[in-house]
Amino acid sequence: MPAPLETARLHLAPFEPGDAPRLIALDADPEVVKHVFVGPFRPPPPERYEADLLPRFLVHQDDPTLGFWRVHPKDDRGAPGPFAGWVLFRPVGEAAWFERAAELNLDPAVPELGYRFARVFWGRGFATEAARAVSANRGPAVAIRQVANVGSGRVLEKCGLPFVCTFRLPGVEGDTALHRRDG
């Protein structure tokens, strides 16, 4: 199971079987999912979260360094506050976009960094803080974003994943940017 993590302002906890409603609520905001790469994104029916999506968030239960973490800002006492979003660090070969980007010649075992946050938590540095917590000092990593998602590009740069190139994903509007840290 991914190990719980603490930062100065955040509590990161592994997802649990009852967490589908958190994902449903997060994905219900069109602005939050505007730059999702499986495009065009429409949140699936609620029963699919429980049956298909949440199990993907639980797959790395035997590894403390890989997985999906719920992100909660700490309250004034340092206790976990409301659900703000999630961060992932998992083998890129598990990503839905991986096979559609074969020309990039990525090692499927290299971890992919990703995140999604509720709009009310944007602009506070939480994505950068959470992404650093799961990926810092862990060797190579990759991440993708839509070129139009400039804010995500800044987060990735701050996390030590510089921009490498742009490419096209079949079925996704616009260019996609690859960010990579080699070591």
What pLDDT digit, counting tens, does each position of 121-172 carry?
Answer: 999 999 999 999 999 988 999 999 999 999 999 999 999 999 999 999 887 8
pLDDT of residue 183: 77
In sequence order, what are the beta bridge partners of 12? 5, 71
* 168/104 Cα distance (integer angstroms): 11
Residue with tokens 């403390």: 64
What is the CATH topology of the domain spanning 5-102+111-138? Aminopeptidase (3.40.630)
Residues present in the chain in total? 183
* 91/104 Cα distance (integer angstroms): 15
The DSSP symbol for 126 reads H
* 145/18 Cα distance (integer angstroms): 29
pTM attached to this predicted model: 0.93
- Mean pLDDT per block of 10 residues along the chain (183 residues) reads 91 94 92 76 82 89 90 97 98 92 93 97 97 94 95 96 94 90 89
